[in-house]
Amino acid sequence: MTFFQRVPRRAIQLACFVGAVVLVWPLLPWAIAPRFFQQISPFVSLASSIAARSIGLGAIFALIVAVASSFKKRWFCLYLCPTGFLLENTNHIGLRRTRWWSKLPPVGRYVAILTLVGALFGYPVLMWMDPLCIFSSPFAMNRATNPVSVILVSLGLGVLVGATFVFGMAWCVRICPLSGFQDMLFAMRKALWTKLTSRAPSSADSAGKLGGELVKISGVSQRPALARRAFFAGAGGALLALGARRLGAARYRKSDTLLRPPGAVPEDRFAGLCIRCNNCVHACPSKIIRPDLGHEGGLAGFGAPIIRYDRNYKYCLETCDACTQVCPTGALTALPLAQKNKYVIGEALVDNNICLTALGKKECDACEIACPYDAVKITWDEAQYISYPVVNDKCVGCGACEVVCPTNPVKSIRVWTQKPA
Amino acid sequence: MRRSIAAGGLFAAGSLMPVSSTLADQAGGESASQTERRVPATTTGGKVVQPRRDVPVLHKTSVLVVGGGPAGTAAAFSAKRLGVDVTLVERYGYLGGLATGGLVLGIFPLYNRENKQVIFGIGEEFMKKLDVLKYGIIDRNKPPVYPTIDAEAFKYTLASMVLESGITAYLDCWGVDAIVDSRGAVRGAIFESKSGRQAILADIVIDASGDGDIYAAAGAAFEKVKTNIGLISRIGNIDEVDMAPGRGSEDPTKPSIGRPDEGGRPSKGRVNDFSGHAGNSTPAPHVNWLNMRGPVGDALDVSDLTEFELKHRIGTWGNVEKLRQKAGNEQVYLTETAPQLGVRLSRLLDGVKKLKVDEIHGGAKFKDVIGYSGAYANAPAFQIPYGSLVPAKVENVLAAGRCISAEFEVADITRLIPVCWVTGQAAGLAAALCIQNKCKPRNVNVAKLQDLLHQQGAYLG
């Protein structure tokens, strides 16, 4: 490669990197811009479309990228990928002591296969490994409310940069599912091209051989070992998807405090569809959406967003639907404000053995005043001869009552995971 | 003139009509009517009819304060200090109103959001007098925790202050009607007591009755509201289970008492077993005061009041029995239920200025500010204008205390004890200014009023 060939690539990469920052920050006045950033990735677009059984607008960009990548090998990585740009430059100044990873199989494409097969079962298992999600995640740091959140949102990119500094480009070359996916696209296009140009004469037996041909054109059939790996990856994806969905559903039934942001798909699929891009964490003006350390959602839910209501922050505002608008994968359905305000995050329950009003301690009706949905009423109970807050079915679990409740350290009114009646 | 009384109502339609304006002229010669044989009411044509009678004048004064609660006492003391003649009338046998007889012992809201005290003046003087009494007041100057006073200590303080001040006071004396002249201006009020029905003539009347009884009788427009009516009580021997607030307390600095089910998911409709203990500590050792929010009722309906007086005492006894069943609480007993029902709001004046809820949330500033309320619930500390104390139409009367001119949500804050001190003090000084300058309350020189408030230590921002 000559000097003049290199410069434009660097320039394009730099421009894309700046563009990525502008989209994700977001420096545009367009609040939903971050959503289209991750959707540029054809891997995320395809896997989430399969899993959600619907195609979003962002799929257009993804299609362009996919077509371009199938003609120029790893075109996306070389020109567009901001993570790639960052890691290339890290590698430049890095130690590059070892290339042991060059002996690794191309893990990325198996990750992609596993995820896409998982997506067929509604749970794109490793979609969160997409480099664009990893890139955007640390931008949520300005909404972080504690050191744990800071570490969680910057973990992915931090590990990649660190590993690249020490080991070189292992991630980009071998592990990244997006580059693996591009390799598959390229190989498939090439195989298809060859197939079409060399025109097999007979078509009578083609139906019987279709399966074999498909394996062949998928680019993993050059060696039987590769086909076997692809098969295991696919089977693994299916099993993991089904298992994770069962565990997720079970965990939700058992949990009392698992609260997801508004618009979240049912819990069995949420942790799969969520790519940990932290767009929702970043978008939340109340700072109530936090990445989960795994306390609530388990290992599968590590890093996925949960809602926490604290004394020092606000609640899920009735004037805001930002988080639902920025989700690139549909883990949070894009809801208009009126519908978001009907989405049930959880249910507020009162412990009237802590409540200041019930215990005759204070003239307190903070929860009733705070409730934007008219769902809490301090009610006189003639039988018990005390008053306490009673929550009606208008409650969506926005947490307005919980954040204002003055009891300490445990709030008398708190939002809990909603249980079926 | 015949006066007919409709059955059941505390305030019959007839009593809203002004008493004959000639009364003032007749008054001098008839002060000894106590000994006269009274003509009782009779039934005529299915109606109960009370014959016309002349009302003896008990007393003549410059400023008449009806109601000896937080607002009334604050008004009387501050007016008296300007050297005007002040008469204070109270329906119960003690002073302090809901702060003593109602057992509303928590002095809130005193502080703004930044934990700075915004209510001083006469209220601060009261608290300073309580400071020097043993078991008089606790939690002074510990924002955001509010001070709690002792009812008996405060009764003692107010009684001593009244005797020292030279105020003419009548206790066990219930203001039942306004005296209005031919132009509709208030000239005094009618009272019922063991001495019978008597009049007190005054140049300015301050209605600190809480229910706005006098301005309503004088024909001032008002809004009638209904809200919760409870009955506060004190429970004794409770320190062994709870003298350390924290859990269930809004004081984040105090340690919490753990419970076995701490932080657990509460079931819907869970019954209160008082395991979170009950009430707040008071200056008296081993004694907590126990608030009751109570059901919604009409504070101007004697049957509602009667029902609550009876049921609340039964309910309170029952809850203390329940409380006693918890381990460690076996020795808890009911010290007393409050002599007075906890009536929160009844009448709200239609004043020159109706204080609006948007204004208090928007931090409205008033040229005629007479004081502040502290921050309470979701409302920040806010200014109270003088216009809220002045009726829109009727002359010579000022409202003070919970019945001033404010929207319901605002009145739900201005009804609280220290805010009543603020409006009471302003009304008292304004009335004294009216006497000194021979003007109507609505024409009071506000700058002068604010100056006087400053001199008496009030906080105006």
> How near does any CA of chain A get to the CA of B22, in Å?
48
**Residue A397 belongs to a domain with what CATH number?**
3.30.70.20
B362 has a chain A CB within 8 A of its CB: no
> Which residue blocks in A72-146 are alpha helix, DSSP H?
75, 82-93, 107-120, 131-136
Report pLDDT for B13.
39
Is position A305 within any domain?
no
Report pLDDT for A4.
55
Closest residue in B to A356 (Cα) is: B248
**Interface with chain A: mutation pick from B256, B291, B344, highest number of A CBs within 10 Å:** B291
Beta bridge partners of B65: B88, B206
Contact B273 A353 (CB under 8 A): yes
List, for residues B43-75, the tens digit of each pLDDT value: 988 899 988 889 999 999 999 999 999 999 999
If asked whether residues A194 and A70 sit together in one domain, one would say yes
Contact A306, A240 (CB under 8 A): no
Which residues in chain B are contacts of A408 at CB distance < 8 A?
A: 246-252, 254, 256
> How near does any CA of chain A get to the CA of B270, in Å?
7
DSSP letter at B381 equals P
Instruction: Calculate mean pLDDT across residues B296-318.
Output: 96
Candidates B248, B259, B377; nearest CB to A361? B248
A376 has a chain B CB within 8 A of its CB: no
> How near does any CA of chain A get to the CA of B106, in Å?
8
Closest residue in A to B317 (Cα) is: A385
> How near does any CA of chain A get to the CA of B406, in Å?
18
Report pLDDT for B117.
96
User: Helix A107-120 crosses helix A224-254 at what angle (to 10 degrees)?
Assistant: 50
Contact B228 A387 (CB under 8 A): yes
Which residues in chain A are contacts of B252 at CB distance < 8 A?
A: 408-409
Report pLDDT for B363.
93
- Which pairing describes strands B86-89 and B347-349: parallel, antiparallel, or unpaired? unpaired
B4 has a chain A CB within 8 A of its CB: no
Contact A272, A297 (CB under 8 A): no
Is position A299 within any domain?
no
Domains of chain B by start residue, with CATH: 66-175+186-225+345-455 (3.50.50.60), 228-253+272-343 (no CATH)
Closest residue in B to A311 (Cα) is: B252
- One-letter amino acid at B338 equals A
List, for residues B243-272, the tens digit of each pLDDT value: 334 333 444 444 444 443 455 788 776 677
Contact A351 B271 (CB under 8 A): no
> How near does any CA of chain B get to the CA of A263, in Å?
24
Which residues in chain B are contacts of A378 at CB distance < 8 A?
A: 293
Closest residue in A to B231 (Cα) is: A360
Instruction: Give the CA distances from residue A317 to residues A99, A286, A322, A338, A355, in Å, rounded to whole numbers and listed in that order.
Output: 51, 8, 10, 12, 24
Q: Is the peptide bond before B295 cis (omega within 30 degrees of 0)?
A: no
Burial of B36 (0-12, 13-18, 19+ CB in 10 A): exposed
pLDDT band of residue B143 (cuts 50, 70, 90) is confident
Is position A397 within any domain?
yes
CA atoms within 13 A of residue B424's CA, in its CB half-sphere: 36
Of B410, B276, B375, nearest to A386 by C-alpha is B276
pLDDT band of residue B4 (cuts 50, 70, 90) is very low
> How near does any CA of chain A get to the CA of B351, in Å?
26
- Tokens 């009812």: give the residue: B151
**Interface with chain A: mutation pick from B265, B345, B402, B414, highest number of A CBs within 10 Å:** B265
Beta bridge partners of B173: B193
If asked whether residues A60 and A177 sit together in one domain, one would say yes
Is position A362 within any domain?
yes
Q: Which of B139-153, B270-284, B287-301, B368-382 has the lowest mean pLDDT?
A: B270-284
Token pair for A135: 């890139």
Of B172, B201, B229, B217, nearest to B10 by C-alpha is B217
Report pLDDT for B319.
93
B417 has a chain A CB within 8 A of its CB: no
Is position A266 within any domain?
no
Report pLDDT for B252.
47
Report pLDDT for A340.
94
How far apart, in whole angstroms, are the C-alpha atoms of residue A337 and residue A323? 11
In this predicted structure, the answer to whether residue B276 has a pLDDT above a threshold of 80 is: no
Which residues in chain B are contacts of A354 at CB distance < 8 A?
A: 247-248, 276
CA atoms within 13 A of residue B355's CA, in its CB half-sphere: 36
Which residues in chain A are contacts of B292 at CB distance < 8 A?
A: 360, 385-387
Q: Is the peptide bond before A177 cis (omega within 30 degrees of 0)?
A: no
CA atoms within 13 A of residue A408's CA, in its CB half-sphere: 14
Owning domain of residue A117 = 3-246
Contact B247 A407 (CB under 8 A): yes
> Which domain-ending residue is among A217, A246, A275?
A246
The number of folded domains in chain A is 2
Helices and strands in chain B: count of H runs, count of E runs: 10, 23
Contact B106 A363 (CB under 8 A): yes
If asked whether residues A235 and A351 sit together in one domain, one would say no
Q: Which of A15-19, A215-219, B96-100, B143-147 has the lowest mean pLDDT?
A: A215-219
A295 has a chain B CB within 8 A of its CB: no
- Residue B388: CB partners within 8 Å, gap ≥ 6? B349, B351, B352, B353, B354, B355, B399, B404, B405, B406, B414, B423
Beta bridge partners of B68: none
pLDDT band of residue B10 (cuts 50, 70, 90) is very low
pLDDT band of residue B14 (cuts 50, 70, 90) is very low
Helices and strands in chain A: count of H runs, count of E runs: 19, 6
If asked whether residues A31 and A170 sit together in one domain, one would say yes
Is position A172 within any domain?
yes
For chain B, positions 371-410, list CB contacts with chain A under 8 A.
Answer: 377-378
Contact B265 A382 (CB under 8 A): no
- Residue A49: CB partners within 8 Å, gap ≥ 6? A55, A56, A59
A369 has a chain B CB within 8 A of its CB: yes
Q: Which of A370-384, B193-207, B228-242 has the lowest mean pLDDT?
A: B228-242
How far apart, in whole angstroms, are the C-alpha atoms of residue B233 and residue A264? 48
Contact A361 B291 (CB under 8 A): yes
> How near does any CA of chain A get to the CA of B276, in Å?
5
* Sheet of B42-44, strands arranged across: B3-4, B47-50, B42-44
Contact A406 B250 (CB under 8 A): yes
Is position A325 within any domain?
no
pLDDT by 10-residue block (mean), chain A, 421 residues: 67 90 83 85 89 80 88 88 92 79 84 92 91 90 83 90 89 90 88 77 49 53 72 91 89 86 91 91 90 82 89 88 91 93 93 86 86 94 92 94 82 86 63
> How near does any CA of chain A get to the CA of B319, in Å?
7
B263 has a chain A CB within 8 A of its CB: yes
Contact B50, B21 (CB under 8 A): no
Token pair for A243: 């298992």
Instruction: Compute φ and ψ for A38, nearest 5 degrees.
Output: -70, -25
Contact A156, A304 (CB under 8 A): no
Candidates A256, A353, A363; nearest CB to B275? A353
Contact A168, A94 (CB under 8 A): yes
> Which domain-ending residue is among A196, A220, A246?
A246
Instruction: Give the CA distances from residue A173 to residues A153, A309, A338, in Å, rounded to whole numbers and listed in that order.
Output: 24, 42, 46
A55 has a chain B CB within 8 A of its CB: no
Report pLDDT for A263.
93
Report pLDDT for B312.
97
How far apart, in whole angstroms, are the C-alpha atoms of residue A146 and residue A354? 27
Closest residue in A to B146 (Cα) is: A362
Is position A334 within any domain?
no
- Which pairing describes strands B47-50 and B3-4: parallel, antiparallel, or unpaired? antiparallel
Q: Is the peptide bond before B266 cis (omega within 30 degrees of 0)?
A: no
Contact A384 B272 (CB under 8 A): yes
- State the pTM of this model: 0.81
> Which domain-ending residue is among A202, A218, A246?
A246
Instruction: Calculate mean pLDDT across residues B306-335.
Output: 92
